[in-house]
Amino acid sequence: MTTLETPVRLTQYAAGGGCACKLPPGELEQVVRDLVGQPAGDVVVGLDTGDDGAVVRVADGLAVISTADFFTPVVDDAYDFGRIVAANALSDVYAMGGRPVLAINLVGWPRGVLPLELLREVLRGGVDVARQAGCPVAGGHSIDDPEPKYGMAVTGVADPDRLLRNDAARPGLPLSLTKPIGVGMLNNRHKATGEVFPQAIASMTTLNAQASAAALAAGVVAATDVTGFGLLGHLFSMLRGSGVGAVLDAAAVPVLEGARDALRDGFVSGGTRRNLEWVRPHLDTALSEDELLVLADAQTSGGLLVVGEVPGAPVIGHTVAGPPAYPHRLSTAADPRIRVEAVAWRHSPTWHPPRPRAPAMPSQLGEPMPHFAHTLSVSAAPSAIFAIIDDFSKTPQWLSRCTGIDKLDPGANDVGTRLNYHYDDGRRSGTMDGQIVAREPDRHFAMKFTDRMMDVTVDFVAASDGVGTTLTHTIDIATKGFGVLLSPLIKRQLPKQTMDAMTALKAMAEQP
């Protein structure tokens, strides 16, 4: 068995590497051709569209995205391999306009050949990138395998009415690409020579979260990520599903430094050549074979191809009218055309790896978190109201889902006093940890509670109006993990729950 004291080149233990390992697109379509078009029920996006993930509607305003990706090592470094895999798997959720909420590992490992310490590094890389995305990794499945393989099955959430789809492109719109291409050829050179290309690793480990959020903010409805079928292959799939054609400006496509040199030196995968052969019948172009191979290069963890403009991303072409789309595109012979042109084949502007950015908060990647505020007049002094709020033994009397609040610190209810909040809403029950976060006698009182699914801040502000009190109650809920699945339900129920609590509190304060 190889040990960590001995340098290990992971790519030497696999026949292929990265998304170039995919089955050829034409062959894959033959396999699944008879499986499309079945009644789908609540399935919004299924096999018949060949999109980046499957989508099922689970409630009003809420859809769950399900996707899986795995492949053999694309780089020699175990930690970087894990990071690339995670970014690639999460990308399918971003490509659909969603937010990843849970991932599980998929592992094949030659336990008698490679040390388990290397596998730990692979998994650590995956967890680190998933953590950057705010997506917990909760277990997985492993097998003893002659070749090392790693992947993730990822669950995401989205608004079913605001998805990014690969069958929603319309003519007359710009095409934007959010990452450069060329990682396939650089990875092939790396596998053959051991030469490391930091620009490729930087591109493959960059999450598509910001690009997805920007596309949604711009009102985009059609997008896909560029991976194993290359830019031309994924563009063709989107055009065919949408019933449009495209004009692609090859000179505007960003290409990583060194990729064309790798092509010149023969580092082209069989997957890239098969991509080009699959799309070639649909191309109208005078470009050379080498120029087309760059556009067909099998990518791993590539960027988003967006029908629309994304700030900072180059526009590489535009859509045009094409043949009509069909309900089940994989079972048709639709023939969208792609005109590929370039005034002169030239190097694209130098692409620089992005500076590390803070992970996008959930509110940046989807709908805002549940929030509600209500103000009413109470015929009682502020002191009477806060005497009730301050007495935790009375909380269940005005807050229906609360079964009790335990105070963990002795003394007055001061800022920092720790609390346990017990609840039962009929569907789930439990305890949240919390504390008092604000207190001004007879004016302001706030508590914050947290558990695995959400953070809840409850705030009361009172002001005497000369006759009684104007009381404002604000509640903010930041869902996380599986809690995001509850967001639509919380948004529907929160106004009534808050009003009921305020009404009950008002009645108690106004009692003689």
Which DSSP string do the residues of 421-475 spell out, in sequence order?
A: EEEE-SS-EEEEEEEEEEEETTTEEEEEEE-SSEEEEEEEEEEE-SSSEEEEEEE
Helices (H), 148-245: 183-193, 198-204, 209-217, 230-242
Q: How far is residue 197 from each of residues 180, 423, 500, measured CA to CA in Å?
A: 14, 53, 60
User: 219 vs 363, which has greater pLDDT?
Assistant: 219
CB 279 within 8 A of CB 298: no
Tens-digit pLDDT profile for residues 261-288: 999 999 999 999 999 999 999 999 989 9
> If one looks up domain 368-510 in CATH, what number appears?
3.30.530.20
Tens-digit pLDDT profile for residues 87-122: 999 999 999 999 999 999 999 999 999 999 999 999
Q: Pick the closest to residue 91 from 20, 29, 21, 164 (CA basis).
A: 164
What is the structure's pLDDT at 6? 67
Inform me whether the pLDDT recorded for 139 exceeds 80: yes
Task: Return d(Cα 361, Cα 99) in angstroms, integer.
Answer: 10
Catalytic residues: 19
User: 484 vs 422, which has greater pLDDT?
Assistant: 422
Output the DSSP codes for 353-371.
PPPP-PPPPHHHHSSPPPE
The reply to whether the predicted model has a pTM over 0.85 is no
Average pLDDT over residues 130-154: 95
Task: Return d(Cα 10, Cα 78) in angstroms, integer.
Answer: 7
User: 324 vs 401, which has greater pLDDT?
Assistant: 401
Neighbours of 492 (CB within 10 A): 13
Tens-digit pLDDT profile for residues 220-255: 999 999 999 999 999 999 998 888 999 999 999 999
Which stretch of 124-138, 144-158, 194-208, 320-334 has the lowest confidence by average pLDDT?
320-334
**Torsion of the alpha carbons at 474, 400, 485 and 369, rounded to the nearest 10:** 0
3-state secondary structure of 484: helix
Q: Pairing mode, if any, of strands 338-341 and 283-285?
A: parallel
Inform me whether the pLDDT recorded for 328 exceeds 60: no
3-state secondary structure of 66: strand
Task: Return d(Cα 423, Cα 93) in angstroms, integer.
Answer: 33
Neighbours of 342 (CB within 10 A): 16
User: What would be the CATH architecture of the domain defined by 10-347?
Assistant: 2-Layer Sandwich (3.30)
Q: Tokens for 94?
A: 């971003």
Output the DSSP codes for 9-61.
-GGGG-SS-GGGGSPPHHHHHHHHGGG-S---TTEEE-GGGT-SSEEEEEETT
The ranges of the chain annotated as CATH 3.30.1330.10 are: 10-347
What is the structure's pLDDT at 319? 93
The ranges of the chain annotated as CATH 3.30.530.20 are: 368-510
Inform me whether the pLDDT recorded for 490 exceeds 80: no
CB 139 within 8 A of CB 70: no
What is the structure's pLDDT at 272? 94
Neighbours of 173 (CB within 10 A): 19
User: 295 vs 350, which has greater pLDDT?
Assistant: 295
**Torsion of the alpha carbons at 216, 218, 221 and 225, rounded to the nearest 10:** -70
Hunting for tokens 């990452």 — which residue is that?
Answer: 179
Hunting for tokens 């610190």 — which residue is that?
Answer: 409
The CA R_g of the chain, rounded to the nearest whole Å, is: 27
Q: Tokens for 356?
A: 């590390």
Tens-digit pLDDT profile for residues 341-364: 753 333 333 333 333 333 333 333
Q: Pairing mode, if any, of strands 99-109 and 304-307?
A: unpaired
